Amino acid sequence: MNLENQFNTRKPPVATTGLIGWLRINLFSSWFNTAVTLLVLYFLYQIIPWFLDWSILSADFTHNYKGEKIIDRTFCSRVANPEEYHGACWSIIIVRFYQFIYGFYPVDQVWRANLTYFLLAVALIPLLVENLPYRRHLIKFTIVFPIIAFVLLYGGFGFEIVPTNKWGGLLVTLVLGVFGIALAFPLGIILALGRRSKLPVISMVCTLFIEFIRGVPLITLLFFGMVMLPLFLPEGINMDGLVRVLVAVTLFQAAYMAEVIRGGLQAIPQGQFEAAQSVGLSYWQMNRKIILPQAIRITIPSIVNTSIGLFKDTTLVIIIGLLDLLGIGRGALSDATWMGLSNEVYVFVAIVFFIFTFSMSRYSLYLEKKLKTGINMGAD
Amino acid sequence: MSEDSIISLSNVNKWFGDFQVLQDVNLEVKRKERIVVCGPSGSGKSTMIRCINRLEEHQEGTIIVDGIELTGNLKNIDSVRREVGMVFQQFNLFPHLSVKENITLAPIWVKRMPKAEAEELAMQQLEIVKIPEQANKYPGQLSGGQQQRVAIARSLAMKPNIMLFDEPTSALDPEMIKEVLDVMVELAEAGMTMIVVTHEMGFAKTVANRMVFMDEGRIVEEAAPEKFFNNPESDRTKLFLSQILNH
């Protein structure tokens, strides 16, 4: 019997507050909130016009205030005539744009990097759009994407080899970020399950690994990957520098991911395990179908949180000589022709990082919303 | 164990730490027999039936289910779990799966049944528990009574020979208890072997072939319902019955 249809229920009253009502409730509900609102408005009033003026209205792009093409720092309006001009000089970014995006990737092979960027976007689509036709098959592409990307970027299979010391800029940042997160996620799940295992050896090995990695700063692991890892490898095998860094980054991220996922596993009621076992599911089936989907769902905010952290931490590779986005920026600044334009470089790098990390955080919100609809997770 | 026993517990002992929860439990259940287990809380009723599908491990004694002895052997445990369905007090439906997916999951993954066939089976089971119209909802959208009936359907979909019920109505609002008990009565009439831990004495009187009364980890009394309710032997049973029947 459907109780909802037994009585004619009334709809809730329609909100009639409108814009003024919204402002009153959200911005001016008390004298304190009013004061905070006004203060924030004042700061925005100070900052936004100033930033717009600096970054766009008064800024140089390719030509300076005299209409000359900017070829080094002395042509920048704010360098040539600091009395009157103060706007940004984006030429440093424009001139070195290629380096920022690809590093020192050979120009005649750059289509491979472009194709990889494009395929990355394609691989992300099934994660972003839910009601996509053939989504199940597209997800398969997403899963194999890292392999395709590696072959495309590095070479082999008929492609010319582009050694990783030629890679740089956004390419290195994304390779470390995307590969690091993509590889650390499954590894983290296995470590989390391992730590909770009833078999003492497995649980001890996983616990030791996680605690060791978590107890060590990422920089130490990067040095370890760079300097010590080659000593452990058999003679004659020379591991690529970027791969060594990637190993360090992945292990680091996996340990954190494992603890996040373990937290999710602990939140799953015992009854779920028992119900799964009582219908005859095996250990792996139970985890794959029942436990992990729920555990991952409740830990999405934390998973994205550590992923964003990792993405930003990739800038640390600069200390072992890899030139990621920030490294390329610093390289540009140490070049005598462009010295002194650090504001422009750091603002540009910050904006690029912000675009990626902010997208990740919006994606996490989207996932949370999507997974909540219609599903009441038992206890709550 | 006798010829037609489907479940046989002999001298089963179990401890939680230093606390003995089961003491020399002996129980024989025949095919198609319906047993109702009752007793005060902490008497080991739930632990006993949870040992039958190895959700709990017993430390001494033997448990044989449909000819398979429960030991540490994982293969045996899997075979027994395929024979035995279980319904829990807290339903334990999978909240991230729809009602239909809850039911088809095990047939598809454990029995490798094709999806279409499993869905047809799920609808049959939902007919049995009288809620086919809820197939595409999620557990969180159902009432407690409906959820418990889905849980029963989920177990039945594996075509078990034995059903264990661990206080299936204790977490339900009073007006939903009947809808769950009705389903269980029909199941009993269809010839299912059942062990039911419950305090629903009305249900016990109509359905049970045999009553088992437990206290402090022991089986204190085993009798046909007629005798159990009207003429119990042990004083402990008399006290228990007087407390739950006169309120």
Indicate which CATH number applies to the domain containing A244. Answer: 1.10.3720.10
| Least trusted range by pLDDT, from A229-238, A268-277, B33-42 | A229-238
Determine, for residues A290 and B94 on separate chains, whether the beta-carbon distance falls below 8 Å. yes
The tens digit of pLDDT for each residue in B160-195 reads 999 999 999 999 998 899 999 999 999 999 999 999
Q: How confident is the model at residue B92 (pLDDT cuts 50, 70, 90)?
A: very high
Contact call for A375 and B138, based on CB within 8 A: yes
Token digits of residue A330:
């610093």
Contact between B82 and A282 using a beta-carbon 8 Å cutoff:
no
Q: Is residue A201 part of a domain?
A: yes
The residue-averaged pLDDT of B240-244 equals: 89
Asked whether residue A3 carries a pLDDT value surpassing 70, the answer given is no
The predicted-structure confidence for A113-127, as pLDDT tens digits, reads as follows 999 999 999 998 888
In this prediction the pTM is 0.84
Residue A272 has its nearest CB partner, among B53, B94, B109, at B94
Apex A219 CA angle, A218 and A222, nearest 5: 90
pLDDT of residue A173: 92
The complex's ipTM? Answer: 0.92
In a domain, A290, yes or no: yes
Do A278 and B110 count as a contact with CB atoms less than 8 A apart? no
Contacts of B138 in chain A (CB under 8 A): 374-376
Across A348-375, average pLDDT: 84
Tell whether A348 is covered by a domain. Answer: no
- Which H or E run contains A278? helix A270-278
Tokens of A99: 């380096």
Q: Which of B81, B95, B96 sits opposite A280 (nearest CB)?
A: B81
With CB atoms and an 8 Å threshold, state whether A376 touches B105. Answer: no
**pLDDT digits 0-9 by tens, A328-346:** 898 888 888 888 888 888 9
Q: In the prediction, which pLDDT does A15 show?
A: 61
Task: Name the residue in chain A with its Cα closest to that of B134.
Answer: A2
Residue A261 scores a pLDDT above 60: yes
The confidence band for A1, taking pLDDT boundaries of 50, 70 and 90, is very low
pLDDT in tens, B117-168: 999 999 999 999 999 999 999 999 999 999 999 999 999 999 999 999 999 9
pLDDT, residue A380, reads 36
Q: Could you give the CA distance from residue A75 to residue A89 in angstroms, rounded to a whole number? A: 9
Nearest CA in chain A to B146: A1
Answer whether residue A166 is part of any domain.
yes
Three-state DSSP at B52 gives helix
Residues of B in contact with A284 (CB under 8 A): none
Q: What is the mean pLDDT of residues A152-174?
A: 86
Q: By percentage, how much of chain B surpasses pLDDT 90?
A: 84
Using a CB-CB cut-off of 8 Å, the residues of chain B touching A274 are: 55, 86, 88, 92
Nearest to B55 among A269, A274, A375 (CB): A274
pLDDT number for residue B134? 92
Which neighbouring-strand residues pair with B222? B212
| pLDDT computed for residue A184 by the predictor | 93
Q: Exposed (0-12), middle (13-18) or buried (19+): which is A161, by Cβ within 10 Å? A: exposed
What value does the mean pLDDT of chain B take?
A: 92
Please check whether residue B155 touches A, CB under 8 A: yes
**Full DSSP string of B166-234:** ESTTTTS-HHHHHHHHHHHHHHHHTT-EEEEE---HHHHHHH-SEEEEEETTEEEEEE-HHHHHHS-SS
All residues of chain B having their beta carbon less than 8 Å from the beta carbon of residue A285 are 109-110
pLDDT over 70 (residue A17): no
A vs B: CB pairs below 8 A: 78
List the single best residue of A272, A279, A297 to mutate versus B (max B Cβ within 10 A): A279
Structural domains counted in chain A = 1
Cα separation, B7 vs B103, whole angstroms? 26
Residues of B in contact with A279 (CB under 8 A): 81, 85, 105-106, 110, 154-155, 158
pLDDT-above-70 percentage for chain A: 93
What mean pLDDT is predicted for residues A24-41? 88
- The whole domain housing A185 covers 101-105+162-312
A299 vs A267, A276, B45, CA distance in Å? 10, 21, 36
Q: Distance from A268 to chain B by nearest Cα, in Å?
A: 11
Q: Quick check: is A3 in a domain? A: no
For the segment B60-71, the average pLDDT, to the nearest whole number, is 91
For the cut 50, the answer to whether the pLDDT of residue A378 exceeds it is no
**Domain presence at residue A38:** no
| Contact across the interface for A279 and B81, Cβ inside 8 Å | yes
Q: Are A92 and A341 in contact (CB under 8 A)?
A: yes
Distance from B110 to chain A by nearest Cα, in Å? 6
C-alpha closest to that of A325 among A348, A349, A307, A308: A349
- Least confident range of A24-38, B32-46, B75-89, B160-174: A24-38
Under the banding of pLDDT at 50, 70 and 90, the label for residue A14 is: low
> Which residues of A make CB contacts under 8 Å with B?
269, 271-272, 274-282, 285, 289-290, 293-294, 297, 374-378
Higher pLDDT, A299 or A229: A299
Whether chain A has a CB inside 8 Å of the CB on B88: the answer is yes
Tell me chain B's radius of gyration from C-alpha atoms: 18
Q: B84 in contact with A at a CB cutoff of 8 Å? A: yes
In a domain, A175, yes or no: yes
Query: At B162, which helix (H) or strand (E)?
Result: strand B162-166
Establish if A179 belongs to a structural domain.
yes
